[in-house]
Amino acid sequence: MPLSPLRIGLWSMAAGADSSQNAAAVRRGLLAASAAGVRVLLTPECALTGYPPATGQVPTDWCAVGDLEDDLLTDARRRGLTLVLGTMSPGPQGITNDALAGPEPVPVRYRKRRLTPGDQPVFAAGDTPAWIEVEGWRLGLGICYDLRFDDVWRDLAVAGCDAFLCIAHMAGPDPDPGVKALVVPQVLATRAMGWATPLAFCSTTAADRWVGSGVWDARGVQTHRADGPGEHLLVADIQPRTAFDPWYTGLRAAALAAP
């Protein structure tokens, strides 16, 4: 059955080191998304816990973090939408930087596969692609620095993902001020264009951010953007590649067939 447009929301916010306060901000996003008819809501990277290279802190009470995750997924379920939550979790190899997505029968936890130099002292890398299913769409998950590595997105394309969802904390010192603001949107457009796959990108609103949130369609065209301060919701109805010329479906097939 052909896919219908899917309404997604990007809840841009600046997370601190207090997980309870961050959870309250995410709940405000769920409320706004529900009112806007959103089916999938993204938060920034580490929205629940704060991003440690920025906050300088890692949670010490993992049970409390888990309880907040459960509460937020329950709130999302009650509102009839799927939440893609930036968070962290401890595991056998170390702490991982996660995108926790639900409700599904069992929530999906994607662990960031590519780590920045600033990430590496804090996090262990994941090694497995992940996706969720919403209203017939298969939505592949990625986090921030994953964008630089095309194999992450190829894995999602091979898995049949119809759209990419990427959460990020695009902020901090920039050795070449202004360059990331120019380059990152080009990388996002390249990932969408190269795999003929719509891409939604949710970033922080921290004062030192490099780039805001946005949506790119299967042609690689940016269709929505938001880069204001404070908390705000960007709503977009993403279109399947079949909404465009059949050339884009052929492009996807050719990209998958390439060695």
Average pLDDT in the 81-97 region?
Answer: 96
- pLDDT tens string 142-164: 999 999 999 999 999 999 999 99
| Domains of the chain and any CATH numbers | 6-257 (3.60.110.10)
- pLDDT tens string 199-254: 999 999 999 999 999 999 999 999 999 998 999 999 999 999 999 999 999 999 99
Quick one: pLDDT at residue 175?
87
Task: Using alpha carbons, select from 166, 169, 124, 162 the residue that is nearest to residue 147.
Answer: 166
Percentage of the residues of the chain whose pLDDT score is greater than 70? 100
Asked if pLDDT for residue 173 goes beyond 90, the answer is: no
- pLDDT tens string 9-39: 999 999 999 999 999 999 999 999 999 999 9
**Cα 252 from Cα 250, distance rounded (Å):** 5
Quick one: pLDDT at residue 159?
98
Quick one: pLDDT at residue 104?
80
Asked if pLDDT for residue 1 goes beyond 90, the answer is: no
Helix (H, G, I), strand (E, B) or coil at 190: helix
Distances (CA, A) of 19 to 12, 170, 221: 16, 19, 35
Number of Cβ within a 10 Å radius of residue 249: 15
Q: Give me the residues paired with residue 236 across strands.
A: 8
